[in-house]
Amino acid sequence: MRMAKFMLPLLMTVMLSGCAALESSKLAYDAEEQRVQALFNQPYIDPLTTFLRTHEQDETRRADRERVAAEREQRCLAVAQRFAERDVTEQVLARYRAGYQYSCPRQVEAFAVRVARKSAVVTEPLPEPIQPVANPAWDTTANECYLLAGIHNHADAIRACEPPARAGNRRAQSALATSLAALQQYGDARHWWLRAAQQQDRDAQIRLAELALEGVAGVRDPALAWAWYEYAGARDRAAVLAGELSLSQRRSARKQVHQQLDLAP
């Protein structure tokens, strides 16, 4: 009886302490949840990045980091979609960098590559003239393909480009891929750009690099993008990516490109 008399107050104290600890833990969780919701409720991206960097080593905040990182990715993608509709110029790139380099460097980098590619086109030679072919009907279809793709009538261009593309016309293959990509059929577009790239179509090789860099036809792969840029001779764009890649990554990506082109590694 005497033991029970002493144990009862001790048990009550332990129970009260446990309840207090649980209540304190719940209050702390609620406070952290409010902070995360406050980040989501404000319209800017940089506070999300600051949160991620501040708690980068805090394993107790891993779940919060994953939620905030996902939210930041969605906002960066929305920004990228807006800039995709703007002029591809150095001035627009400067504004993009000023506003979003801190939080969306990957998207800014992809736009910078587009600017570099457009600038390079000015100094590149004009496309080779259409060569006469033995089949006039095939020649007419190929010219119709180039015309429709050039005026962005992509649905009709696909119809016109497919026969000469299947017959091996690399310009038709590249034009077909461009129209397919414009209609967001990226898997088919990649197939035809690869067919053209196998015939040493430099523009197709650069487009394959862009697909790998932006990840629109699969997983984003900067190493593969670097290898395609290098193979296409776009050394300025390859140099932008090379600094972040290890030697083994570059070797593996170069081997992958050679395999896709059926070349000896």
DSSP letters, 164-200, are HHHTT-HHHHHHHHHHHHHTT-HHHHHHHHHHHHTTT
Chain segment 214-247, per-residue pLDDT in tens = 887 677 889 998 999 989 888 888 888 888 888 8
Question: What pLDDT was estimated at residue 196?
Answer: 93
Question: What pLDDT was estimated at residue 29?
Answer: 53
Question: What pLDDT was estimated at residue 125?
Answer: 45
Question: What pLDDT was estimated at residue 92?
Answer: 87
Question: What pLDDT was estimated at residue 19?
Answer: 54
**Amino acid at the residue 6:** F
Chain segment 145-168, per-residue pLDDT in tens = 888 888 888 888 899 899 999 999
What's the CA gap between 187 and 218, in Å, rounded? 8
CA–CA distance from 233 to each of 65, 119, 226 (Å)?
Answer: 40, 15, 11
Question: What pLDDT was estimated at residue 133?
Answer: 41
Place of tokens 């997983």: 219
Domains of the chain in sequence order? 44-51+63-122 (no CATH), 132-199 (1.25.40), 202-265 (no CATH)
Check: CB of residue 180 under 8 Å from CB of residue 189.
yes
- Please say whether the dihedral angle defined by the alpha carbons of residues 81, 83, 85 and 88, taken in this order, is positive or negative: negative
What's the CA gap between 213 and 230, in Å, rounded? 13
Question: What pLDDT was estimated at residue 194?
Answer: 93
Q: Using a pLDDT cut of 70, give the percent of the chain over it.
A: 77
**Which of the residues in the chain have pLDDT under 50?**
121-138, 265
Q: Is the pTM of this model over 0.75?
A: no
Grouping H, G, I as helix, E, B as strand and the rest as coil, residue 246 is coil
